[in-house]
Structure 1
């Protein structure tokens, strides 16, 4: 499960960054006057949402597998899933998940350096 935990952490970081970049891009695209440089940048960032969506699907599967192996509750899984949809929340949730997994299953959440 250590590999699954590490995959979860990387996916959480990637999903979180893509979500923040996509949100900033959308704000630039829709809140600024058409034709400005920043508005065009926001328009150019629109494909980020497609990438975020596909990686989020992989994140959902990995989060589900992690909660099943750790025998966590449905609310814990739902928090992990919602975190991938609310900008910035996933960074806090990832730290919470890492802390909880280390407390509940220290043998399963070993850092690569500790081995």
Structure 2
């Protein structure tokens, strides 16, 4: 796999996992009564959002460079960006990007 493509896939997975963990943490923190152990767990996981934000910025840059090298239109890049903000969506988008890149630009996805 091309280094850029491999980096994109790893970042997509990390951003997706952090987004799901952050969403669950927020549900626990704000959806449960104060003082409970699950509510405290949600509160303790709040820094996940900071980590997600920093890694998401790197993900956006890598996704932009990848779309530019592949010659893809802006809407495809925007879908990749939005996927990092909607829990679970990034896993589906990453799979589509991988398939499209292999079909349209095999040189970017090759080893």
Q: TM-score range by the shorter chain?
A: over 0.9
The TM-score normalised by the length of structure 2 is 0.98
Encode CA deviations 1:61-102: one digit per residue, 9 max, x unaligned.
000000000000000000000000000000000000000000
For residues 50 and 107 of structure 1, the distance between their equivalents in structure 2, rounded to whole angstroms, comes to: 35
1:48 aligns with 2:48: yes
What's the counterpart of residue 66 of structure 2?
66
Q: How many residues get paired?
A: 111
Residue 26 of structure 1: CA displacement? 0.2
The TM-score normalised by the length of structure 1 is 0.94
Secondary structure in structure 2 of the residue aligned to 1:107: helix
For residues 105 and 78 of structure 2, the distance between their equivalents in structure 1, rounded to whole angstroms, comes to: 20
Secondary structure in structure 2 of the residue aligned to 1:108: helix
What's the counterpart of residue 18 of structure 1?
18
Q: Could you list the runs of 5+ residues in structure 1 that have no partner in the other structure?
A: none
For residues 108 and 59 of structure 1, the distance between their equivalents in structure 2, rounded to whole angstroms, comes to: 17
For residues 60 and 92 of structure 2, the distance between their equivalents in structure 1, rounded to whole angstroms, comes to: 17
Q: Could you list the runs of 5+ residues in structure 2 that have no partner in the other structure?
A: none
What's the counterpart of residue 99 of structure 1?
99
Secondary structure in structure 1 of the residue aligned to 2:33: coil
Structure 1 outlier segments of 4+, above 6 Å = none
